[in-house]
Amino acid sequence: MRFRRGGNGARAGVLLVAALAGAGTPSAAQDRTLLSAAYAGQPREQQVEVELTPVLASHGRQGPVGWVTCRVHNPDQRAHEVSIALTTFAQRVRVQDRLTLAPGERALRHYPAFRSRQFPSVVVHTDSGPGARSNVLGAGKSSVSLLLITSRPGAASVLEGDLARRDIVVERTPGRRATRSSATPIDVVAVRSDDLPDTWTCLAGFDAVLVDGRSVPSLAGQQALLDLVATGGVVLVAAWQGLSPGPLRAACAGEAAGFGRGRLLPATADPEGVLDTEAGAVLATVCVAAAARQTSGPVADAMDERLRIPGLGRAPVVAFFALLALFVVLAGPVNWFLCRRARRPLLFAVTLPLLGFGFTGAILAWGILAEGLGVRGTVRSVTWLDQRQHVGASQAGMSLFAGLTPDALVPAPGTLTYTSAIADDWSARTPHRFLLDVADGGKLDGSLLPARYETHVVTASCRRVRERLRFRRLGDGSLEVLCGPGLVPAAPGVVVCDHTGKLWSGSPSGERTVLQPCAADAARQFVSAAAERFNAHELMASVDGRPRRRPDGAWTSDVDLPVRITPGSYVAWASENAAVDSLGLQVDWEDARHLVFGLLAAEDFVD
């Protein structure tokens, strides 16, 4: 889509009202030029050109959904300011940016997009008068959406045909009919390598990314793909030997940091032919698993379960009934006796409601003060820490309650942040807003966490971290854990396996954590118990407003965690975890469960 603005002023603005409820894929019919009538008569050399290209997944699930590429050119001899916004109709989900362009300057930006299930289409506006309006994207109907990075036309159709021949049967997302649609259930979105974003958060909405080795992604684009793998995404690279030198080729030839469900799969087959056996099997597994999900992105659905904050909204029963009994006594017999004694019995009609309002105000004040004016919350996070490459990938689900609305939430660079409140149960009666200000360093407006409301926020991040656990060998054959700031072991403790396969386990005792040798069965039991304890939170309603249960009646809140430990790795509970993005908030955690899976370098064992 292309918009042109110009004229006598030095401001240009574009508003893309993107209600991403079920966005389809861009097509040639959507590539149109919209020219505001107010500036149609201005000289071409004074018109600021703004071209918006959406690349959106069509699976119809809530959460991250792709990105919008924005190209801006200022051909004028004066500086211009351009305002850009991706927003829903009610302004509840909004990604905004402001660009100041020097004369003749060009700019390229990629903005992450999020889907809200209340709105079924995308509408485009310009901000000069009524502007141009066009419904450009319809509701998503595919169960699975794949991203293909290639420079060859027609490659997407070839891949879709290959997938159809493999007869990968997928069901629709939960809440829809559990039958295969007559339409193609797997949709392939093709983009050129030049259009690849430079941040992994823009890629998180797709179920898998396939890279044509003959394409030439930029170094930033290659690193974005590797970060996607690290956070739990799936990237298949066909004919990887044809890649230009860079981090992606090096990772295909060696070993990439892939955690959770994340996987980098180098394939020798050409995507214009047929996928090889291994790549096809992996892709089939990805498609079937993705179609059963309710949310998009690398974070498991279970992380979107809202957690109970201990003590929040639960008044002490004894104190409540004692206060109620005191009110009855004071407002009734005592009040009537004092009014009769003062020989003003009609005063009772005034003092009774005053006492009622007074007790009500006291209860409200007590509730506000008891719940606090700061931020309280419950969090569970899982972190994969590659101490060999200093890469940390963390996924966290946190339920937060703020006594006062914070000014802003400040995610660290490389953090994907979203909430089920965006896509599910926001209504006109709630004050929630998701406002991402790209021009202000990616800050989120504090209205994402309004005062006196419980809000569940999901974060996923991939960062270069220095935090690590090291181990000192003691003379009696045990290990002492050496921890730095931000990664402190906590009960139930740590289990570690060195590069020879020898195992140790133990719990903190005071300020020291000493691990004793243990058998393989004991190590496996420790890891299994850690996974059970991690998933043992008390839950609120699920993301769709109804409890989701397995056939046996249990909650579907289990996060899929590895239950085995391999040589050169460890599993540890942490009392605090610097790799988890707390969004710049000072939170009093009522219940915090941080589980860390680490990969060890040889130098992490100190003699």
The average confidence (pLDDT) of the chain is 76
Torsion sign, CA atoms 557, 560, 564, 566: negative
pLDDT, mean of residues 277-297: 80
At residue 513, φ and ψ (nearest 5 deg) are -130, 110
Q: Between vectors from CA 151 to CA 145 and to CA 154, what angle results, nearest 5°?
A: 65
Q: How far is it, in rounded angstroms, from Cα 384 to Cα 513?
A: 21
When pLDDT is averaged across residues 545-569 and rounded to a whole number, the result is 61
CA atoms within a 13 Å half-sphere pointing along the CA-CB vector of 197:
27
Q: Residue 291 and residue 282: Cα distance in Å, rounded?
A: 14
Mean pLDDT of 296-325: 79
- What pLDDT score was predicted for residue 317? 67
Pairing of strands 605-606, 469-473: parallel
Query: Using an 8 Å Cβ cutoff, are 322 and 577 in contact?
Result: no
Asked which of 257-271, 408-422, 512-526 is least confident by mean pLDDT, the reply is 257-271
529 — pLDDT class (breaks 50, 70, 90): confident
Q: Helix 277-291 crosses helix 155-166 at what angle (to 10 degrees)?
A: 80
- The strand pair at 569-577 and 605-606 is best described as unpaired
Q: What is the mean pLDDT of residues 448-454?
A: 87
pLDDT value for 163? 74
Supply the pLDDT for residue 72. 83
SS3 at position 141: coil
Whole-number Å distance between alpha carbons of 570 and 572? 6
Task: Name the residue with tokens 């047929």.
Answer: 274
- Encode pLDDT of 181-215 as tens digits: 434 578 888 898 888 999 999 999 999 998 887 78
Residue 371 phi/psi, 5° resolution?
-80, -15
| Edge-to-edge order in the sheet of strand 144-149 | 186-191, 144-149, 208-212, 234-238, 263-267
Residue bearing the bigger pLDDT, 258 or 384: 384
Maximum mean pLDDT: which of 129-133, 466-470, 472-476: 472-476
Higher per-residue pLDDT: 295 or 429: 295
| Res. 541 pLDDT band, cuts 50 70 90 | very low
pLDDT for 6: 37
Assigned token pair, 107: 């700019």
Average pLDDT over residues 545-571: 63
Which of 3-12, 223-232, 234-243, 337-346 holds the top average pLDDT? 223-232
Q: What does the pLDDT look like over 136-168, one tens digit per residue?
A: 444 456 778 899 988 877 777 777 777 776 667
Higher pLDDT, 288 or 412: 412
Task: Average the pLDDT over 502-516 and give the result.
Answer: 91
Residue 123 is predicted with a pLDDT of: 40
Q: What is the pLDDT of residue 424?
A: 45
Residues 6+ apart with CB under 8 A from 517: 477, 478, 502, 503, 504
CA distance 223 to 481: 32
Query: What is the structure's pLDDT at 140?
Result: 55
pLDDT in tens, 68-122: 888 888 888 888 877 777 776 566 777 888 888 888 899 999 988 887 654 433 3
What mean pLDDT do residues 485-495 have?
Answer: 87
Phi, psi (degrees; rounded to nearest 5) at 326 = -65, -40
Mean pLDDT, residues 595-603? 91
DSSP letters spanning 179-212: S--SS-SEEEEEE-GGG--SSGGGTTTSSEEEEE
Which are the contacts of 92, defined by CB distance < 8 A and separation ≥ 6? 116, 422, 426, 432, 433, 434
Residues with Cβ within 8 Å of 476's Cβ and at least 6 positions away in sequence, in order, are none
Taking alpha carbons only, the member of 430, 384, 413 closest to residue 570 is 384
